[in-house]
């Protein structure tokens, strides 16, 4: 506000112009403001601080003591848990440890689409059994022919040698095939086993049935099987020399066909995948205390039901891989959506605060750019997840630290539920947040709630857990600033919501913007005196009255007798929707700045203000 400066007589002369009626009708209370902060002693601006994980926070997190009735997070210290909760945590840690070592947090490989080559291969494989049957039948026929020729030769030989023995009927049967030895040379690499050579030694036992003239013992033959998966090997059985039969050995060869099938077993030896969530190692055996905080979030989201918590955790890891959540911070989206949602300040307990302002979508062009089609809706969703991930970077994930944030949703001028694109995107965002970001919201505050909010709330309520709904706060327009002040200190509430925080503020910051508060009863005139003693400097102040409806004025009164009072701001009736006032005054002589607030309403008024001295 530009200061309008007028000179007036000294305090005594000014008092003489006040009528007795004015004095008797109002009660005057004087408050001396605390000494203004001197800029040379204060830190200029807000310094960027690096978080534990190496990221740079937008603002320095204030060291504030808990005040008011702000939401109390449950303890993340294991010692503070109930015995049943400790047991559930230990069980979940065991399951997570086993799952990571067994590579269970991996997406199943996608099914390869069937091609013409695959179909041709299937057709060939289908014909193979028929071809094999034909080969077996042909081999059997050849065997029978050879047996007949062998019988004829044997009969002829017996007649020529005049051996009075009956013709032998030889029937060769394969009794069994035993694998005696397997020799395998392998070359093992990380993630695979490559078999170079494999030899299988088998024993073929054959039994020949003969009449009473003599028994032909079993014979063993050694067969080397090559690397082919299936081979047909013809073994010629030769009787042992130690138990030679009296028959003509050279003419009685019995061919036996043996089919040996080799089954190849693939061994997949893959390295254990390192799993991180928000920069925290998930493997419990690493011993990071932040791992317990992450696991407790999933347990609390599922009422300490271990199986459900594990399933939720696994689904979250798989979703993050599919969505690319770890890389979304590197994506660029421009600045056209900067006013839709943004991180700004902290609540009284130090939780980062995120503001969501959907009224900007009254702009039809912006709405069409954001929700015009499915691709644009997906882009908006990625942008919103990116903002959330940036906010999560400010969390510590340590027991006793700040592990969640406050969400404020402004519904003023927000498109109603009839806007299909916004409604669908909001529903999808809610699903993602509930399924993959457990226990990240300490408080959800809805402000400027319109008439249709009840219908919208009834629509989305079934998709929210009772625990989530218990964190909701709803503020009507008349109670907006007072509701925010209940949870957030005035220096962190944006001016558009009645607070003292301005974007890119060059005058005040978290380190030099301490706020004083007072309450004014109906019909009372409150005077705030700010010392102005350093000549050549400027005095700067911010002041706000919740839902104003007061008469407000500013003036400088010198200490010297006979000096003139300087009117900085004439008395003005302030409407309820007025924004906070910022003004300044250059000190040319010692004195004091007087801020006068007269409560003309029937309600008690809440006043917040802060001051500062800066060198010119």
264 & 283 share domain: no
Nearest to 181 by CA among 203, 156, 204, 164: 203
Across the chain, mean pLDDT equals 75
Question: What is the DSSP secondary structure assignment for residue 413, as one 8-state letter?
Answer: T
Higher pLDDT, 304 or 8: 304
Mean pLDDT of 399-408: 94
Query: Percent of the chain, pLDDT > 90?
Result: 44
29-66 pLDDT, tens digit per residue, is 676 766 666 554 444 444 443 334 333 333 333 333 33
90 & 16 share domain: no
288 & 427 share domain: yes
Which pLDDT value is given to residue 269? Answer: 56
User: CA neighbours within 13 Å on the CB side: how many for 460?
Assistant: 18
Mean pLDDT of 77-100: 96
Quick check: 236 pLDDT over 50? no
Which pLDDT value is given to residue 38? Answer: 58
Residue 601 has phi, psi (to 5 degrees) of -95, 180
| Burial 232-258, CB ≥16 within 10 A → b, else e | ebebebebeeeeebebbeeebebebeb
291 & 189 share domain: no
What are the angstrom distances between the C-alpha of 294 and each of 96, 276, 408? 12, 10, 24
Of 252, 270, 288, the domain-final residue: 270
How many Å apart are CA 211 and CA 168, to the nearest integer?
7
Sign of dihedral through CA atoms 150, 151, 152, 157? Answer: positive
Which pLDDT value is given to residue 306? Answer: 97
Of 478, 497, 515, the domain-final residue: 478
Residue 112 lies in a domain: no
Which pLDDT value is given to residue 259? Answer: 53
In 238-303, DSSP assigns E strands to: 254-261, 276-277, 280-281
Which pLDDT value is given to residue 110? Answer: 64
Helix (H) or strand (E) holding 121: helix 116-161
Residue 18 lies in a domain: yes
Quick check: 545 pLDDT over 70? yes
Q: Which of 244-248, 352-356, 405-409, 455-459 has the lowest mean pLDDT?
A: 244-248
260 & 305 share domain: no
Q: Which of 107-111, 146-150, 155-159, 448-452 has the lowest mean pLDDT?
A: 155-159
Q: Are 600 and 537 in contact (CB under 8 A)?
A: no
Range of the domain at 561: 6-45+505-615
Quick check: 587 pLDDT over 90? yes
223 & 289 share domain: no
> Can you say whether residue 39 is alpha, beta or left, with left for phi > 0 and alpha for psi between -120 and 50 degrees?
alpha
Helix (H) or strand (E) holding 90: helix 83-101
311 & 449 share domain: yes
258-284 pLDDT, tens digit per residue, is 555 555 555 455 677 889 999 999 999
How many Å apart are CA 341 and CA 388, to the nearest integer?
10
Q: How many domains is the chain built from?
A: 3
Instruction: Tell me the CATH number at 392.
Output: 3.40.525.10
Residue 562 lies in a domain: yes
Of 222, 249, 270, the domain-final residue: 270
Nearest to 508 by CA among 608, 591, 358, 423: 608
Tokens of 64: 């504030």
How many Å apart are CA 220 and CA 276, to the nearest integer?
60
Q: Which of 7-16, 197-206, 464-473 has the lowest mean pLDDT?
A: 7-16
Mean pLDDT of 451-466: 73
Which pLDDT value is given to residue 255? Answer: 52
- Long-range own/partner contacts, residues 156-164 (CB < 8 A, 24 or more apart): 157/247, 157/248, 157/251, 158/247, 158/248, 163/246
461 & 555 share domain: no
Residue 384 lies in a domain: yes
588-602 pLDDT, tens digit per residue, is 999 999 999 999 999
Tokens of 270: 């893959």
In 448-520, DSSP assigns E strands to: 472-475, 516-520
543 & 404 share domain: no
126-156 pLDDT, tens digit per residue, is 555 555 566 656 666 666 666 666 666 555 5
Q: Give the 3-state secondary structure of residue 389.
A: helix
Which pLDDT value is given to residue 224? Answer: 45
Which pLDDT value is given to residue 51? Answer: 38
Which pLDDT value is given to residue 457? Answer: 74
Instruction: Tell me the CATH number at 526.
Output: 2.60.120.680
Which pLDDT value is given to residue 118? Answer: 54
Quick check: 249 pLDDT over 50? no
**Distance linking the first and last C-alpha atoms of the chain:** 19
Higher pLDDT, 447 or 470: 447
Quick check: 459 pLDDT over 60? yes
Residue 252 lies in a domain: yes
Residue 396 lies in a domain: yes
Which pLDDT value is given to residue 268? Answer: 53
Residue 162 lies in a domain: no
Query: Percent of the chain, pLDDT > 70?
Result: 61
Among 3-17, 36-50, 52-66, 400-414, name the most confident range: 400-414
How many Å apart are CA 227 and CA 247, to the nearest integer?
39
Which pLDDT value is given to residue 165? Answer: 44
455 & 548 share domain: no
Sign of dihedral through CA atoms 225, 227, 230, 234? Answer: negative
User: DSSP string covering 224-242, please?
Assistant: EE-SSSEEEEEEEE---GG
Which pLDDT value is given to residue 266? Answer: 54
Residue 113 lies in a domain: no
374 & 467 share domain: yes
Among 462-476, 507-521, 552-566, name the most confident range: 552-566
Which pLDDT value is given to residue 309? Answer: 97
Burial of 26 from C-beta contacts in 10 A (0-12 / 13-18 / 19+) = middle
142-195 pLDDT, tens digit per residue, is 666 666 666 665 555 554 444 444 444 444 444 444 444 444 444 444 444 444
522 & 609 share domain: yes
3-state secondary structure string across 568-581? EEEEEEECCCCCCE
Higher pLDDT, 72 or 427: 427
């Amino acid at each position: 506000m530009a200061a309008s400066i007028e000179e007036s007589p000294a305090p005594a002369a000014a008092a003489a112009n006040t009528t007795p009626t004015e004095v008797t009708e109002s009660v005057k209370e004087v408050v001396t403001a605390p000494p203004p902060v001197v800029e040379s002693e204060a830190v200029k601006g807000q310094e960027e601080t690096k978080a534990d994980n190496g990221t740079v926070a937008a603002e320095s997190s204030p060291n504030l003591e808990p005040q008011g009735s702000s939401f109390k997070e449950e303890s993340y210290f294991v010692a503070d848990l109930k015995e049943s909760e400790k047991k559930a945590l230990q069980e979940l840690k065991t399951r997570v440890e086993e799952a990571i070592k067994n590579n269970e947090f991996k997406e199943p490989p996608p099914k390869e689409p069937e091609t013409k080559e695959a179909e041709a291969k299937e057709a060939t494989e289908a014909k193979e059994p028929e071809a094999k049957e034909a080969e077996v039948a042909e081999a059997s026929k050849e065997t029978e022919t050879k047996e007949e020729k062998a019988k004829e030769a044997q009969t002829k030989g017996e007649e020529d040698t005049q051996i009075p023995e009956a013709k032998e009927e030889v029937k060769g049967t394969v009794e069994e095939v035993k694998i005696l030895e397997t020799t395998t040379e392998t070359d093992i690499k990380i993630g695979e086993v490559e078999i170079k050579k494999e030899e299988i030694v088998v024993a073929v036992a054959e039994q020949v049935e003969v009449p009473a003239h003599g028994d032909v013992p079993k014979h063993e033959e050694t067969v080397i099987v090559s690397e082919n998966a299936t081979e047909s090997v013809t073994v010629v059985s030769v009787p042992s020399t130690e138990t030679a039969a009296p028959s003509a050995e050279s003419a009685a060869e019995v061919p036996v066909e043996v089919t040996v099938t080799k089954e190849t077993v693939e061994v997949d030896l893959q390295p254990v995948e390192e799993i991180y969530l928000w920069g925290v190692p998930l493997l419990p055996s690493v011993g990071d205390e932040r791992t317990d905080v992450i696991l407790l979030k999933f347990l609390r989201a599922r009422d300490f039901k271990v199986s459900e918590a594990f399933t939720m955790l696994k689904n979250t890891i798989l979703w993050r891989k599919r969505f690319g959540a770890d890389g979304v911070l590197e994506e660029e989206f421009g600045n056209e959506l900067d006013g839709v949602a943004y991180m700004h300040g902290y609540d009284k307990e130090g939780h980062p605060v995120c503001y969501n302002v959907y009224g900007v979508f009254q702009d039809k062009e912006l709405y069409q750019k954001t929700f015009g089609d499915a691709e644009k809706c997906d882009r908006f969703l990625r942008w919103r997840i990116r903002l959330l991930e940036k906010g999560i970077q400010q969390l510590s994930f340590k027991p006793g630290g700040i592990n969640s944030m406050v969400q404020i949703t402004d519904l003023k001028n927000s498109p109603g539920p009839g806007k299909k694109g916004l409604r669908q995107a909001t529903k999808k965002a809610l699903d993602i947040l509930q399924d993959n970001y457990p226990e990240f919201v300490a408080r959800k505050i809805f402000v400027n709630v319109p008439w249709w909010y009840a219908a919208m709330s009834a629509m989305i309520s079934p998709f929210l857990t009772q625990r989530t709904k218990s964190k909701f706060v709803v503020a009507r327009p008349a109670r907006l600033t007072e509701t925010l002040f209940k949870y957030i200190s005035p220096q962190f509430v944006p001016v558009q919501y009645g607070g003292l925080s301005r974007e890119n503020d060059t005058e005040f910051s978290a380190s030099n913007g301490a706020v004083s508060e007072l309450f004014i009863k109906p019909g009372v005139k409150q005077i705030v005196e700010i010392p102005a003693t350093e000549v050549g400097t400027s005095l700067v102040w911010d002041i706000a009255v919740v839902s104003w409806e007061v008469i407000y004025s500013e003036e400088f009164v010198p200490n010297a007798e006979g000096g003139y009072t300087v009117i900085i701001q004439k008395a003005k009736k302030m409407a309820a929707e007025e924004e906070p006032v910022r003004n300044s005054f250059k000190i040319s002589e010692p004195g004091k700045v007087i801020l006068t607030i007269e409560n003309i309403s029937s309600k008690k008024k809440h006043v917040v203000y802060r001051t500062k001295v800066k060198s010119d």
